[in-house]
Each structure stands twice: as C-alpha cells, then as structure tokens.
Amino acid sequence: MKDDLRPYWVKKRYLQFRHWYTEYFIRPEFDHLGDHHTFMKPWHTVVSGPNIRLGHSATVVAEPDNHVRIGVWGREPGSGSITIGNAVMISPGVRISASDNITIGDGCMMANGVYITDCDWHGIYDRMNRDPEPRPVMIGDNVWIGDRATVLKGVTIGNNSVVAACSVVTRDVPANVVVAGNPARVVKELDANADFYTRTTFYAHPAALAKHYDDIDRLVLKSNSLLRWLKRLIIRR
C-alpha cells in the first residue's frame, strides 16, 4: 500500500465532499439512512425502488468496476422492502434485490460480490411472471457472508453464522455455524457462549470513533506538503 501523501486539509476536504455527495444524491434514494455512514466512492452506489432502509454507521464500499446495487422491484407500485440494520459492511459488487422483503440485522458483513435475493424473478415454466408465493429472506445479527456467496429466496440465517466464499444458500442456516458449498451445508459449529467482537460493538460510539480517526489523520498527514503530493500525482513512480 502506498503512503498517503495528501496534506491533512486536502484529505479533509475530500471526505467533506464525499459526505456531501452521499447526503445530496444517495440519501434521497433511501426511505431512511442512519447517521455516521461511510460511503466510499458513493458515485458507484446505485439505490433504486421504495421502502429501503439502512441503519446508522454503515460502511458501503463501491468501485468503478464493482458497483453496489440495492434495489426493490415490488409486485405492485410501492410494494416490497429492504431493511438493513446498524453498523453493517457492504463491499464492492454486493447486490441486494428484493421482490417482497429482505431483512438484514445489525453488524452484518457482506464481502465482495455477494448476491442476496428473495425471488427467482421468473418461473421455470411461466418465464414471464414471478413465483406467486412470497419467499422473504431474513438474515440475523452479526452474520458474515463471504466472497461471491449467494443467498436465495426463503432463507433465514441465524445470528453470528458465517457463509463461506462462493457458497449458495438455499435453505435455512441455524445460528452460530459455518456453512459452505453448493448447496451450503453446516461444516462447523461456533461456540455460542464465546465473546464475539462485532461491528456493532466497534461502532457503539460512532461520533467518538470518527473524532479518533480524524485525530489519527491529523497526526499522520501533518508533515505532508502540497508540492510533494502534486509531484506524486504528476510523476507516477
């Protein structure tokens, strides 16, 4: 990882612009967006449809070639919903697509390329219409979904469970287990009595945490000069 050569005030202005962009362009697309959010490259996040709620202290990371897409396409105008809890992590390439209802708990982590949907969108024989039976998805608190895993319609995942990379979840997952494979099966049981250190705990005091990170930036970047940073931008070595 290259050193950050930006002067403190340059990084501060960039973060202020990023926050403004999120508030102006992204917030109106949500039915509710909690405070203390961090949208990295928010111009690559696409939110569409009604009844989409995201709790406080969310971290959403998008990339130019890996947009984050959160969308509701209800059966009728204004129907369908996505509700995502507090202190979640949404990585590049995550897609969350709801026909009826998807609920994701607090402190969940969704790795690169995760896909979560509550619908097949087309029937096997009638390929012009959806399955008439709603099959909502319910994901508990502190669930970790690995790279390129898929969570399909009608699935409930219990608290603290882990979905391994590239898994396809087609049936309910109990709490405190690790599942893997296609279709995903339990491969390990977790200690339900262990002390889990979660994103919910980490973001228990988000304002104080934001100040802490700002103090670190001020300390680490204080010796950076504008000239040196501009030279790095021009001379790419």
d(CA 38, CA 25): 14
Torsion of CA 38, 44, 49, 53, to 10 degrees: -10
Is 37 catalytic? The answer is no
**Residue 228: per-residue pLDDT:** 87
Q: Could you tell me if 121 and 87 are in contact, meaning their C-beta atoms sit under 8 angstroms apart? A: no
**Residue 1: per-residue pLDDT:** 64
37, 44, 122, 212: the catalytic one is 122
pLDDT in tens, the chain (237 residues): 678 899 999 999 999 999 999 999 999 999 999 999 999 999 999 999 999 999 999 999 999 999 999 999 999 999 999 999 999 999 999 999 999 999 999 999 999 999 999 999 998 899 999 989 999 999 999 999 999 999 999 999 999 999 999 999 999 999 999 999 999 999 999 999 999 999 999 999 999 999 999 999 999 999 999 998 888 888 876
State the helix-helix crossing angle for 206-220 and 8-21, rounded to 10 degrees.
140
3-state secondary structure the chain: CCCCCCCHHHHHHHHHHHHHHHHHHHHHHCCEECCCCEEECHHHEEEECCCEEECCCCEEECECCECEEEEECCCCCCCCEEEECCCCEECCCCEEEECCEEEECCCCEECCCCEEECCCCCCCCCCCCCCCCCCCEEECCCCEECCCCEECCCCEECCCCEECCCCEECCCECCCEEEECCCCEEEEECCCCCCCCCHHHHCCCHHHHHHHHHHHHHHHCCCCCHHHHHHHHHCCC
Q: Which domains does the chain have, with CATH numbers?
A: 31-204 (2.160.10.10)
Token pair listed for 80: 């369908």
Single pTM value for the model = 0.94
Ramachandran region of residue 41, left (φ > 0), alpha (ψ -120 to 50) or beta? left
